[in-house]
Structure 1
């Protein structure tokens, strides 16, 4: 049992996961975790459901978010913890991000149609409902339609051949910069962390974000190598940043877990106090 451990990166059906917020908390309990962070893409819409289930099961739920940003032509993700999801200004900013995601979905569908694939947004919306019982829509739902039509065999193939970065159906998501995201999180009373920096292959940019005032680095991640973890642990210590860990759990599709199984990357639950202290210090 992974008592006294926390997984600080998990997604639900509120963005592109396959389990509801309550189900992710239930899985955390089954895994023996003491705490789990709900970090859906560009929304905190699942936090209250998760908190309620956490209270029922005696599992600590960390209110979180993963903001999609862009810098130097790269997609950069910034995790935020303990931001006040009820704050009006924060809610307005997240609504803008959601609007941009909707426009991107439409652009992807249109690009696929231009390449001879007969796909519609109605089919994508229906796929989102069938897969997850909700209608928060992203690329995994578009990929599911491509699988259903026989265009590809798996979700992974859909990304590799059609909707991944640089592929025929890819469309850029209108994004803020990581520097703006750090500021937004701070202004909402939260603590900011650079998500999975090893995926960016740009440590110079990572250091620029650090110097802008980010609070931590996700050192341990399902897609990080041992070398990545050692490098980012050293970087965090050099700048006095928090070292976090998360599986980036998205659930299971066609029997495959994305990105890692819940609880596969964890930190001591004592780190939560430091995350909260950092958020309170930044908001003063």
Structure 2
């Protein structure tokens, strides 16, 4: 299947290989941000798992998309170009996914580069706080392992595991990196309305990621629709069937798109986030795809 070189939507249907189910994962990270697999290795794994549609949604950067698309060119995988933005409101983190971003949009790329700089400064403060608490983290080593990508707390969590301070990255977050823990550093102010508006103004489709992390899903949705919110992540790796049904009802009530994905960050990542582990309905993907067409992506 022919694919474009930028964030233009490919309107052709992905081919289905005999013996492979049509599997969709619209939320995955690479070494361009805080994932542990390169874009090429992530696409290779997706192919092994029979994934036909893969969303590349790194934090605050589009850098992994081109390599993923190139790797997918000779496989039956359609790459959905995306990004994930982090915001805060009243103490809660709210993440916004943007689908069908345009890697050729220099203004968006420059804005994201500024966010990535904020991330790096925050992580430097996190490391300093943990060192002050007696944990001998090597700041240069952690920053180097980010491979010049968009760094985040998972990089610190992996360093804590490597040091033997904790057994898992989940434990690292629980004991050291969550709010009110020794390594907590608040983000730079950036509202979810601004994130949604930024993505919408640059032609992307804004979607509320892992909605239950907002603590008040319906109120958050009502707040963000006027800014341009188009969907919510109903089919999320760590959610139960009952939670997904609740989110589907909210999406239906507000005429929002339903998306889904694993939030995969690599092998030995956080529990419930294995690549391709979430059953995302093909109809949900097709509606998202059609929304891209209706926005004139590629027109």
Partners of 1:143 and 1:22 in 2: how far apart?
24
The alignment's TM-score, normalised by the length of structure 1, stands at: 0.90
Runs of 5+ consecutive residues of structure 2 not aligned to the other structure = 1-18
Offset of 1:166 from its aligned partner? 2.0
Q: Alignment partner for residue 177 of structure 1, among 191, 194, 199? A: 191
TM superposition outliers: structure 1 runs of 4+ over 4 Å: 256-259
Q: How does 1:1-284 map to 2 (within 5 A)?
A: 3-126=21-144, 128=145, 134-136=147-149, 137-203=151-217, 204-253=219-268, 258-265=271-278, 266-268=280-282, 269-280=285-296
Q: Which moved more, 1:95-104 or 1:4-13?
A: 4-13
Q: Cα 1:9–1:278, aligned 2, differ >3 Å: closer, same or farther? A: farther
8 A contact 2:58–2:83 mirrored in 1: yes
Offset of 1:161 from its aligned partner? 1.0
The alignment's TM-score, normalised by the length of structure 2, stands at: 0.85
- In angstroms, what is the RMSD of aligned CA positions? 2.1
Partner of 2:12: none
Offset of 1:225 from its aligned partner? 2.1
Q: Secondary structure at the match of 1:101?
A: helix
8 A contact 2:200–2:228 mirrored in 1: no
8 A contact 2:257–2:288 mirrored in 1: no
Offset of 1:162 from its aligned partner? 1.0
1:180-237 Cα deviation digits (max 9, x unpaired): 1111111211111100102222121232113432011111101222222112111111
1:89-126 Cα deviation digits (max 9, x unpaired): 10121011101101111110111122122223113134
Offset of 1:37 from its aligned partner? 0.5
How many residues of Structure 1 are paired with residues of Structure 2 in the alignment? 276
Runs of 5+ consecutive residues of structure 1 not aligned to the other structure = none
